[in-house]
Structure 1
Amino acid sequence: MQKAVSSTFSRWAFGSALTVGTLSAAGYFLNSVDSLTAQTSPPAVTASPHAKENLTHANALSQAFRASSNRVLPAVVSIQNVVQPKLVQREIPRRSPRQVPPGMQRPGMEELDPLLKRFFGDMPDLEDMQPQQPGGRESSGSGVIIDSSGIILTNNHVVAGGGKLRVKMHDGREFDVVDVKTDPSTDLAVIKIKSSVPLPYAVLGDSDQMMIGDWVLALGQPFGLQDTVTAGIISAKGRDIGITRHNEFLQTDAAINPGNSGGPLVNLQGEVVGINTAISSSSGGFQGIGFAVPVNVAKWVSTQLLKDGAVHRGYLGVGIQPVDQALAEQLGLSTSQGALITDVQPDSPAAAAGMMPQDVVVEFAGQPVHSPRQLQAVVGRAPLGTKQPLVVLRDGKKVTLQVSVREQPKGYGEVAKQDEPEAKPSESSSFDELGLNVSPLTPAVAKQLGVKVEQGVVVTDVEQGSVAAQAGLDEGDVITQVGRTPVNNVEEFRAAVKTADLSKGVMLLVKGAEGSRFVVLKK
């Protein structure tokens, strides 16, 4: 046997010109290698009880990911939105991909907001942007079936644009969308497909029960890659990122990218807890921060869309802003939580309840209120026509009011465009200590600025780096109150600020086209 092994080794290792002596050396070499291998082979590994326990936990988490994915994936769909071109201006020769300059394979992404980019699907190649392309412009997103009859929950921006919508399911079947209902205020939409057999659907969970640090999975079709699953955690709750009128997003670090929009965010039980909507990115791709509409909001919105085709929200009829440390000191508060009332609209539920500017709402319908966003959310979803208790801090004391919730009027909160010719303020008066100039407010100027006030002074100039600039004042702001003293003209404004102690700070009520706010001037 030794000879046979040595001969075989010689043929492939040393060729045919080996002598007997060399062959003997080769046999010795083989024996040496066998001996060395035996001496250096690692001993059998015996895992410690602690290592076994860690492996058991890791496998359990892996199995939870697997079970959750398998439970939801059959209900996750791809949504194609094909918008037909309205006008063909000229023929543009198509270019092959090799002719596209480097860095131009995915145009348009750099034109989007660098902070918040939505997921409109895979960005088209440069030649796909030509208006004469057959079939028009196509974008894609995701959705999740929430009822076996074919009801799908997704984002408004996935189905917007008036294009032809087509749904592709996990098993390859395709359906045309037969009905679309949307709510741009939350960027949610409900679409409907028809099937002759019941369809798989996902179970909607309770997003209020999700806590920071909980595991979640994001499912969808990023960049057209069907049935993609990524894992992460809930990074934050109640995020206001300013992309919709009603903001209360879940933040996650589960990887989501263009094409994931409208897909579900699910917990380890396989329940939908959010609808993926936006990412924070400077590159257009995932950078660790994504946002999803909480499923409790989606359930409330979708129920109304399916019932009435529209969403009915409650409102108070007030202007609100956050309470920062400077405002808390001016208002004599020990906390900076709550929603500060900046103005109360006449004939509104808030006016009927006796709410006043400078009230700080800290509770509504038995729920604590920590921010303006939270107040807007709980009031919006309050049952219409009901009377709800509301607690405010007024002059440092708690006051309980009763407010009758009414439906928010159509167009509420929208800023009307001003087409009037420009009206110039009167001659300005300078306040060097504050670093600003003001002039009287005339009806023509108020109309031009879009403010519905009849008295006050208009800021005409703000010195860079001044007390006024640091407080956030800007040209066109209308100051109507200093402390708790209303000011009707420049003389009253001068008298009010003359007695103010800038070292302790003075609070101003400022009005603009987008509403009212309090600012604090302080050295």
Structure 2
Amino acid sequence: MLSLKSGLSAFLTLFLLGQSVAAHAELPDFTTLVEAAAPAVVNISTTQKVPDQVAGNAQSGIPDLEGLPPGFREFFERNLPQQQPRSPQGRQQQRGAQSLGSGFIISPDGYVLTNNHVVSGADEIIVRLSDRSELKAKLIGADPRTDVALLKVEGKNLPVVKIGKSEELKVGAWVLAIGSPFGFDHSATAGIVSAKGRSLPNESYVPFIQTDVAINPGNSGGPLFNLNGEVIGINSQIFTRSGGFMGLSFAIPMDVAMDVANQLKTDGKVSRGWLGVVIQEVNKDLAESFGLDKPAGALVAQVMEDGPAAKGGLQVGDVILSLNGQPIIMSADLPHLVGRMKAGAKAELEVIREGSRKKLELTVGNLPAEDGEVAANGGGESAVERNSNRMGVKVAELSADERKSLDLKGGVVIKEVQDGPAALIGLRPGDVITHLNNQAIDSAKTFTQVAQALPKNRSVSMRVLREGRASFITFKLSE
């Protein structure tokens, strides 16, 4: 019996050891990748002249970011200038505020990709190669919307990275980053792809790659490699509460970056497709109110006057389900797809309108250089107030000037919010209601009639303009 137990124990030990060895053998070895790719990764430093009196107030070193509110931020930090004395004559001096980031060479003749925020505002850009040689770089062009910048250094037969296709990347795949976190050149960190197509606040045109690769200040602009040694992304942002790595890193897909780089190289600027709409996510309640089987698509909350969408017949309340056959699952999918289209291209949209599917064809426009401002609500007092106790609001007609300033044919303005559903969903005086339960509101009388006929215990949608910005909200009446 003893020998049997000993035999079983030995067998289990060998089995577990074998499992451990097998698991260890399956882990990737990045040594060959790093040896081949590292020479094409560069360190980027910049100098920006600032007045002496401004620089003199700064403290040197890495700032303490503890206590800042959480959120997405550009994680590149500038190294503040060291204290320097004034000249003996007492003249105000100009000093260089230096910053530090990463980049990579994409062509043998010296084109370099990095982040826009690494070189933004720089008076001088220095690229340091893996052999410690330094070259002055010229900014060919930059695109703040994607945070991509294209540089050029003078050189021949420079080492280059291999460019991969980010669209072929799969969640769970191993990836490796090389960069200069906190100034430590050519640091390699590895992890996996956590998600694809992530949308970040104020970043409408980039479907970010999310990874758990350790990315820190100084990694900005550096490459993200797949196991084949191909660059499939540019490390750009992190989510952090401390200022350092917390397991959420975001990279610009290489397909997007190369499209931007080619446009910058050819034209010096980037052109994007534009529909001229304000959209929002379709949640469960909105899906129910619009008669959808499940939450999906992009809900059109606002259509810009004389924009491509308006000319193509797209209407407020339409839910866009697909663009040129590509499904719109999340609302953020739409600007990603439209932004990569060229002005003048044809776009076929499948939409849900009043419960029925329709197909629309429109011509994509060119995204304006700067986003236009939407007119704000004037809040006039000209109309006679009416009351709908069921909703718990007092509403008034919009004046002709208010309708003109808001580009509306109808709608009512809330004058007073009482106890009731309106207060519970956060409506407030000055809000303008243009649609209720998928019906256009052209007067206070129409609003009262529609409000009185609202169904019970079912999601109801309402389109509201607040300070000129439109969105759909949902609520349920339980009475």
TM-score bucket (shorter structure)? 0.7 to 0.9
User: Corresponding residue for 2:445?
Assistant: 491
- Runs of at least 5 residues in structure 1 that lack an aligned partner in the other structure: 1-43, 98-104
Which structure would you say has the larger Rg? 1
Kindly provide the CA deviation profile for residues 67-102 of structure 1, in whole angstroms up to 9, marking residues without a partner as x.
22222211111111211113537977x99x9xxxxx
| Structure number having the greater strand percentage | 2
Question: Does structure 1 residue 519 correspond to structure 2 residue 473?
Answer: yes
Q: Which residues of 2 match residues 152-301 of structure 1 at below 5 A?
A: 152-195=112-155, 197-301=156-260
Distance 1:172 1:89 in 2: 32
User: Corresponding residue for 1:25?
Assistant: none
Question: Does structure 1 residue 442 correspond to structure 2 residue 399?
Answer: yes
Q: TM-score, normalised by structure 1?
A: 0.79
Kindly provide the CA deviation profile for residues 294-339 of structure 1, in whole angstroms up to 9, marking residues without a partner as x.
1111111111111111111112222221111111111111011111
Letter in 2 for 1:456: G
Match for residue 27 of structure 2 among 43, 58, 61: 61
C-alpha contact 1:114 1:284 (8 A) present in aligned 2 = no
C-alpha contact 1:144 1:263 (8 A) present in aligned 2 = yes
Please report how far the alpha carbon of residue 284 of structure 1 lies from its aligned counterpart in structure 2 after TM superposition.
Answer: 0.9
Please report how far the alpha carbon of residue 254 of structure 1 lies from its aligned counterpart in structure 2 after TM superposition.
Answer: 0.6
Please report how far the alpha carbon of residue 487 of structure 1 lies from its aligned counterpart in structure 2 after TM superposition.
Answer: 2.2
Question: Does structure 1 residue 116 correspond to structure 2 residue 72?
Answer: yes
Match for residue 457 of structure 1 among 384, 408, 412: 412
User: Corresponding residue for 1:143?
Assistant: 103
Please report how far the alpha carbon of residue 157 of structure 1 lies from its aligned counterpart in structure 2 after TM superposition.
Answer: 0.9
Letter in 2 for 1:376: P
SS at match of 1:298: helix
Match for residue 509 of structure 1 among 463, 466, 470: 463
Distance 2:95 2:55 in 1: 16
Kindly provide the CA deviation profile for residues 347-370 of structure 1, in whole angstroms up to 9, marking residues without a partner as x.
333234332322222221221211
Please report how far the alpha carbon of residue 193 of structure 1 lies from its aligned counterpart in structure 2 after TM superposition.
Answer: 1.2
C-alpha contact 1:178 1:194 (8 A) present in aligned 2 = no
Question: Does structure 1 residue 330 correspond to structure 2 residue 289?
Answer: yes
Question: Does structure 1 residue 72 correspond to structure 2 residue 28?
Answer: no
CA separation of 1:469/1:306 partners in 2, compared to 1, >3 Å: closer, same or farther? farther
Distance 2:460 2:236 in 1: 41
Distance 2:389 2:292 in 1: 30
Distance 1:446 1:81 in 2: 50
Match for residue 348 of structure 1 among 296, 307, 315: 307
C-alpha contact 1:315 1:406 (8 A) present in aligned 2 = yes
Distance 2:465 2:340 in 1: 28
Letter in 2 for 1:498: Q
- Runs of at least 5 residues in structure 2 that lack an aligned partner in the other structure: 1-9
Kindly provide the CA deviation profile for residues 150-194 of structure 1, in whole angstroms up to 9, marking residues without a partner as x.
111111111112432111122211111122311111111111111
C-alpha contact 1:390 1:401 (8 A) present in aligned 2 = yes
Distance 2:375 2:53 in 1: 32
Q: TM-score, normalised by structure 2?
A: 0.85
Distance 1:209 1:91 in 2: 50
| Residues paired across the two proteins, number | 462
Question: Does structure 1 residue 309 correspond to structure 2 residue 309?
Answer: no
Distance 2:37 2:222 in 1: 11
RMSD: 3.3
C-alpha contact 1:85 1:132 (8 A) present in aligned 2 = no
CA separation of 1:342/1:87 partners in 2, compared to 1, >3 Å: closer, same or farther? same
Distance 1:519 1:331 in 2: 12
User: Corresponding residue for 2:432?
Assistant: 478
Letter in 2 for 1:70: E
C-alpha contact 1:224 1:259 (8 A) present in aligned 2 = yes
User: Corresponding residue for 1:376?
Assistant: 335
Distance 2:403 2:17 in 1: 72
Distance 2:94 2:22 in 1: 55
C-alpha contact 1:477 1:510 (8 A) present in aligned 2 = yes
Letter in 1 for 2:203: T
User: Corresponding residue for 2:3?
Assistant: none
SS at match of 1:135: strand
Distance 1:510 1:345 in 2: 16
Please report how far the alpha carbon of residue 394 of structure 1 lies from its aligned counterpart in structure 2 after TM superposition.
Answer: 2.9
Letter in 2 for 1:511: L
C-alpha contact 1:115 1:282 (8 A) present in aligned 2 = yes
Kindly provide the CA deviation profile for residues 207-237 of structure 1, in whole angstroms up to 9, marking residues without a partner as x.
1111211111122111111111111111111
Distance 2:315 2:475 in 1: 22
Deviates more, 1:287-296 or 1:510-519: 510-519
Question: Between the two proteins, what is the percent identity of the paired residues?
Answer: 36
Letter in 2 for 1:200: P
Q: Which residues of 2 match residues 402-441 of structure 1 at below 5 A?
A: 402-411=361-370, 413-415=371-373, 425=381, 431=388, 433-441=390-398
Please report how far the alpha carbon of residue 404 of structure 1 lies from its aligned counterpart in structure 2 after TM superposition.
Answer: 2.2
CA separation of 1:70/1:354 partners in 2, compared to 1, >3 Å: closer, same or farther? same
Kindly provide the CA deviation profile for residues 407-453 of structure 1, in whole angstroms up to 9, marking residues without a partner as x.
22333x332687x9x86656866655434454443356568xx7333
CA separation of 1:307/1:111 partners in 2, compared to 1, >3 Å: closer, same or farther? farther
SS at match of 1:326: helix
Please report how far the alpha carbon of residue 112 of structure 1 lies from its aligned counterpart in structure 2 after TM superposition.
Answer: 5.5
Deviates more, 1:152-161 or 1:312-321: 312-321
